[in-house]
Amino acid sequence: MVKKFKINVHPLYYIVAFICFITGYFKAFSIYTIILLVHELGHILAALILKWPILKVTIYPFGCMTTFNHKLNSSIIEEFLILLYGPLFQILFYMLYPTPYHYFILFFNLLPIYPLDGSKLLFLGLNKLTSYYYSYVITYFISYLTLFFLLLIDINFLNYLVLFYLLYDVSKYLKKLSWVMFKFYFERFYYPIKYKKNKLIKGDKIKKIWKEKNNYFYYNNNYYTEKEILKKKLFK
């Protein structure tokens, strides 16, 4: 049985819709919105198939965002599949309704800017290359730098409005870092998580803990499990 979830429309969506209405671009904005909804439907369907609990779906003028109630230590493959279903659904919709808007939406959504799909794809890729903490921080800096360069481009007022909101969202992304990391570490400590690959970490810095690996620490000439180090760090 599928649990009900909230669908919210962000105030910025109404502002952009009104501007498009008075400037004669409301038809284009409506088509744009339909494509965004189809794209997000792909993410939602994949989440339902994989039995990820959905809390809410928020509609923005630049895209939709589905919030899940899932563990941060969930499967990277599952996260990738949920990401992949969005573009796949949009490509299928393009076959039924070909329009140039598809190209812009796909390109924009793949930019490495939080909370766009491109930033999530970047984050998942970084999880394979470095620790969860550094993956988060690198994603923030790349999001910030990408936005900075886009704001230097001579674009219209609506684009600036969207980009400045994304800049605000990126700043919130960094503020959530402490809470996100505590949740990530708590899951590692509380749940019986086991993986096929191991990672040996020199020192006792929990920022170096990798996702989807059994992390072991070599510290003061002794070996420790990550649960032993996390207990020491989290429950002093």
pLDDT (tens digit, 0 to 9) for every residue of the chain, 236 residues total? 556 788 899 998 999 899 889 988 899 899 999 999 999 999 999 999 999 999 999 998 888 889 898 889 999 999 999 999 999 999 999 999 999 989 988 899 999 999 899 999 999 999 999 999 999 999 999 999 999 998 888 677 777 888 888 888 888 888 899 999 999 999 999 988 889 999 999 999 999 999 999 999 999 999 999 999 999 888 76
- pLDDT value at position 30? 93
- pLDDT value at position 165? 86
- pLDDT value at position 126? 97
Q: Distance (Å, rounded) from C-alpha 59 to C-alpha 53?
A: 18
Return the C-alpha torsion angle 79, 85, 86, 91, nearest 10: 150
- pLDDT value at position 1? 52
Amino acid sitting at position 76: I
pTM of the predicted model, to two decimals? 0.90
